[in-house]
Chains A and B, each alone.
Chain A
């Protein structure tokens, strides 16, 4: 699977906006300390919903503090605001702006970002105005009249799932290959993997990658509550996200963004960039089983991990740390544990330590994998892995070492990061210390 002529791809910048802070080092220290970013939902009145809490980006975050061209982003949605902050941090760290001769046709973007938020109040208003009580359906003429009055151009356009991408390209003024993929909870891991492939084959010199998302809005919460995918531990929300714990009862919605700057090794060396890590492997698979359930043998996740490890030219024995998808749902944590056990069970040193930062920042949905990739880069840099908090009741279906409750100092050279999407799209990255 390894093409001999492929280029090596390194990370030269990173940035994030999460419920634990708006800057990488702060978020990292709080993750290592086991802090939790969960609290009551205050974006809207969720007080009677089955779930009343989430991990929200705090009110003091303002994308205008990061963007250099705020006038280009007047109408953006919340997710794009997260992306702008994370991207400016990453871009600044990479030092690419100091390079006058940067070929901007050779700088691309690959995001795994979500859609913008529905204009809820006006959408609902149109529904009420257009509702034909007798026939129990929408009267399209009445609805259209209400829509013309209430639904505005920018609130509608900015919902499109490519708008985050549009604003980043406009902010950074880059013209290269540009994509957004929305493979549910696997999106930003997939985006980073695909961006790596674009650089490997020489279609760009630099790729801005990662994701941004929020589904903390009335219909987002409604959708996940109806699926009974969310924790309803309303009286103890700080301990609600409990991946791999026997008493887990669902995931906790989070929001935010993670962005990395990826570059071919040649390009990074040539401009004297500081190299943070190398991305050596990417694997993508489909469960091809059911829309609603994972395959009980975890064949899709196992395949994605296997492909990524082979793609990196590694074996399972080489992996020191696994950043799990680890959502805190009954099904994911059991099946991910099985797939990991099947793949790593025969390793000389046993299954490597696994943790899920979703226990602290919740599930950032499309953006989750990008922040978790940054966690892997920092674990390699500092020789310490973050804990899975709220892990005090063991589950026989989750028999591995999940770094419970306290960060752990271990040498980390090679990390594996998992993201699995609803519907069965699975993606895995291998991230390594850069060695010349």
Chain B
């Protein structure tokens, strides 16, 4: 008998604000948080809007004794630390991170940390400031000067800011979590896979609790450009950010980049019950699969969505339910037309005629495509949907492709027993998780 796994803490840090409450409220109210980029001047780029996390200071939430370490945190790491802080507090846990003098409410040796991450771009100002020491008369970079002296102007711990595993590592230290720890780097599928694998870690009794999900920020010139050059971003809505992302709409024109973190506290049902924790939902089933790209480039998905369907079928089977039991789907739904088409094909293959009756909800119009953080945010909303028995508002879709049940609709109460959450990466990894009512 494998152990039951439940969700006891929701931690999101998004353009809507800090914590699950503002995110849920925005989703219920139908209020997009996308806006023109403020972190840098985007005028030189074709896409100029994003879902930025504002007014978040990592120093305000780490214990005093750990403030020095925030100097070696890239923004991705800060967001992971922030979202985890939200999740841990939401779960009612007392950790050395939330209260250094408090009495612990969990066993650190039985607590794992699996936080998905993206490719972290070096801070351009910081690195170029150092490189500028080695520009010659022609403004060209002189690698001899760099090797000899220039590199010395970088802080000694520079590299540690950008290793993707540092999201998880800082969290293990802050909350003294000494159990299994992993860093999955599969683009937008990272946090879906991390949450699924955390469920497995708990099921196989390698830990009682995991802080799991992901975080990422691509809102800096380099990482943002890297997304723009793929042609996945909408460039036609710079003046209308709130309406920019149109998942499954016939007039979808691409996605918008967001930043943030989505972290859950996943816990064995028995330890959650023992400490009388609030249970939002159950993690019931999980599956993963790979898209094999017909043109092999990794940018166009397989139009039939075979790898996506494989992941969904595996999750439904693992949950021991049937496709008929799924009441709500939170798909990847990025509004990149080729991806939406592939996902629609996969959903059609699994759900058949019933698909047109299942509501599809997407977070992307609200907070953007938050990369490695996206799946964790979606999972947090799914848990909230089950706890509140509510489907939040759907926006920006006047007419849906394939007659999907994705068109604009106000928030509504609904009887929800099972919610399916999917994610798909640029690069082909897919995850699917079935959550059920607590």
Residue of B186, B200, B203 touching A178 (CB-CB under 8 A): B186
Q: Is the CB of A115 within 8 A of B119?
A: yes
How far apart are the CA atoms of A225 and B124 in the complex, in Å? 20
- Pick out which of these stretches binds chain A: B274-282, B293-301, B336-344, B395-403: B293-301
Give per-residue flags for A143-176: 1 if the beta carbon is below 8 A from chain B beta carbons, else 0: 1110110011100110111110111011001111
Knowing A179-B429, A183-B165, A194-B197 touch, does A108 contact B290 (C-beta < 8 A)? yes
Cβ–Cβ < 8 Å partners of B140 in chain A? 128
Which residues 217-231 of B have a CB within 8 angstroms of A? 221-222, 225-226, 229-230
A340 → B minimal CB distance (Å): 19
Knowing A105-B310, A143-B221, A162-B427 touch, does A153 contact B229 (C-beta < 8 A)? yes
Q: Is the CB of B292 within 8 A of A226?
A: no
How far apart are the CA atoms of A199 and B176 in the complex, in Å? 30
Cβ–Cβ < 8 Å partners of A299 in chain B? 178
Which residues 194-251 of B have a CB within 8 angstroms of A? 197, 200, 203-206, 221-222, 225-226, 229-230
Find the residue from B117, B131, B163, B182 having the highest chain A CB count within 10 A. Answer: B182
Cβ–Cβ < 8 Å partners of A163 in chain B? 298, 427
A331 → B minimal CB distance (Å): 15
B61 on interface, CB distance cutoff 8 Å = no
B179 on interface, CB distance cutoff 8 Å = yes
How far apart are the CA atoms of A347 and B202 in the complex, in Å? 31
How far apart are the CA atoms of A334 and B398 in the complex, in Å? 64
Residue of A48, A71, A137 touching B147 (CB-CB under 8 A): A48
B414 on interface, CB distance cutoff 8 Å = no
Residue of B nearest to A421 (CB): B165
Knowing A157-B298, A184-B163, A300-B178 touch, does A173 contact B173 (C-beta < 8 A)? no
A349 on interface, CB distance cutoff 8 Å = no
Q: Is the CB of B173 within 8 A of A289?
A: yes
B84 on interface, CB distance cutoff 8 Å = no
A210 on interface, CB distance cutoff 8 Å = no
- Pick out which of these stretches binds chain A: B4-12, B17-25, B150-158, B351-359: B150-158
How far apart are the CA atoms of A41 and B248 in the complex, in Å? 50
Knowing A160-B426, A170-B293 touch, does A49 contact B299 (C-beta < 8 A)? no
Cβ–Cβ < 8 Å partners of A33 in chain B? none
Q: Is the CB of B185 within 8 A of A182?
A: yes
B137 → A minimal CB distance (Å): 12
A288 on interface, CB distance cutoff 8 Å = yes
Give per-residue flags for B98-141: 1 if the beta carbon is below 8 A from chain A beta carbons, else 0: 00000000001100110001110010110111011001000111
How far apart are the CA atoms of A69 and B295 in the complex, in Å? 11
Residue of B nearest to A50 (CB): B147
Q: Determine chain B's interface SS by DSSP, over half rule.
A: mixed
Knowing A288-B108, A423-B169 touch, does A127 contact B181 (C-beta < 8 A)? no
- Pick out which of these stretches binds chain B: A24-32, A279-287, A368-376: A279-287
Residue of A nearest to B138 (CB): A128
Q: Is the CB of B166 within 8 A of A423?
A: yes
Q: Is the CB of A286 within 8 A of B177?
A: yes
How far apart are the CA atoms of A432 and B144 in the complex, in Å? 49
Total contacting residues, chain B, CB less than 8 A:
99
Residue of B nearest to A127 (CB): B128
How far apart are the CA atoms of A71 and B293 in the complex, in Å? 13
Q: Is the CB of B173 within 8 A of A151?
A: no
How far apart are the CA atoms of A46 and B143 in the complex, in Å? 8
Cβ–Cβ < 8 Å partners of B124 in chain A? 127, 130, 138, 143
Cβ–Cβ < 8 Å partners of B306 in chain A? 105, 175
Q: Is the CB of A138 within 8 A of B165?
A: no
Q: Is the CB of B225 within 8 A of A286?
A: no
Cβ–Cβ < 8 Å partners of B40 in chain A? 138, 140
Q: Is the CB of B182 within 8 A of A425?
A: yes
A247 on interface, CB distance cutoff 8 Å = no
How far apart are the CA atoms of A175 and B204 in the complex, in Å? 25
Q: Is the CB of A176 within 8 A of B290?
A: yes
Find the residue from B2, B45, B183, B310 having the highest chain A CB count within 10 A. Answer: B183
- Pick out which of these stretches binds chain B: A92-100, A216-224, A267-275: A216-224
Residue of A nearest to B174 (CB): A288
B187 on interface, CB distance cutoff 8 Å = yes
A292 on interface, CB distance cutoff 8 Å = yes
How far apart are the CA atoms of A184 and B185 in the complex, in Å? 11
Q: Is the CB of B173 within 8 A of A71?
A: no
Q: Is the CB of B151 within 8 A of A156?
A: no
Cβ–Cβ < 8 Å partners of B200 in chain A? 197, 201
Q: Is the CB of A292 within 8 A of B160?
A: yes
Cβ–Cβ < 8 Å partners of B287 in chain A? 177, 203
How far apart are the CA atoms of A184 and B162 in the complex, in Å? 11
How far apart are the CA atoms of A125 and B163 in the complex, in Å? 24
Residue of A nearest to B229 (CB): A153
B149 → A minimal CB distance (Å): 9
Q: Is the CB of B143 within 8 A of A424?
A: no
Q: Is the CB of B181 within 8 A of A144?
A: no
A104 → B minimal CB distance (Å): 9
How far apart are the CA atoms of A165 and B306 in the complex, in Å? 17
How far apart are the CA atoms of A177 and B44 in the complex, in Å? 40
Q: Is the CB of B151 within 8 A of A222?
A: yes
Cβ–Cβ < 8 Å partners of B187 in chain A? 160, 162
How far apart are the CA atoms of A223 and B126 in the complex, in Å? 14
Q: Is the CB of B129 within 8 A of A160?
A: no
Residue of A105, A109, A137, A201 touching B125 (CB-CB under 8 A): A137
Q: Is the CB of B427 within 8 A of A160?
A: yes
Cβ–Cβ < 8 Å partners of A170 in chain B? 292-293, 296, 298, 428
B436 → A minimal CB distance (Å): 20
B167 → A minimal CB distance (Å): 9
Q: Is the CB of B289 within 8 A of A177?
A: yes
A65 on interface, CB distance cutoff 8 Å = no
Q: Is the CB of B179 within 8 A of A128?
A: no
Cβ–Cβ < 8 Å partners of A390 in chain B? none
B297 → A minimal CB distance (Å): 8
Cβ–Cβ < 8 Å partners of B221 in chain A? 138, 140, 143-144, 147
B185 → A minimal CB distance (Å): 4
B168 on interface, CB distance cutoff 8 Å = yes
How far apart are the CA atoms of A142 and B198 in the complex, in Å? 44
How far apart are the CA atoms of A161 and B426 in the complex, in Å? 11
Give per-residue flags for A64-99: 1 if the beta carbon is below 8 A from chain B beta carbons, else 0: 000001011101000000000000000000000000
Q: Which residues of A are interface residues toward B (Cβ below 8 A)?
A: 1, 3, 44-50, 69, 71-73, 75, 105, 108-109, 115, 123-125, 127-131, 133, 136-138, 140-145, 147-148, 151-153, 156-157, 159-163, 165-167, 169-170, 173-184, 190, 194, 197, 201, 203, 218-219, 222-228, 284-292, 299-300, 303, 307, 421-425
20 further contact pairs, Cβ within 8 A, besides A153-B230, A197-B200: A3-B204, A124-B131, A127-B131, A140-B41, A157-B226, A159-B226, A160-B187, A162-B427, A163-B298, A175-B307, A178-B307, A181-B184, A182-B165, A184-B165, A227-B156, A288-B177, A289-B173, A291-B170, A303-B109, A303-B178
The 7 listed contacts between A and B (C-beta, < 8 Å) are: A50-B147, A177-B314, A183-B183, A203-B288, A219-B122, A226-B157, A291-B72
Q: Which residues of B are interface residues toward A (Cβ below 8 A)?
A: 2, 40-45, 69, 72, 108-109, 112-113, 117-119, 122, 124-125, 127-129, 131-132, 135, 139-141, 143-148, 151-152, 154-160, 162-166, 168-170, 172-173, 175-187, 193, 197, 200, 203-206, 221-222, 225-226, 229-230, 287-293, 296-299, 306-307, 310, 314, 425-429
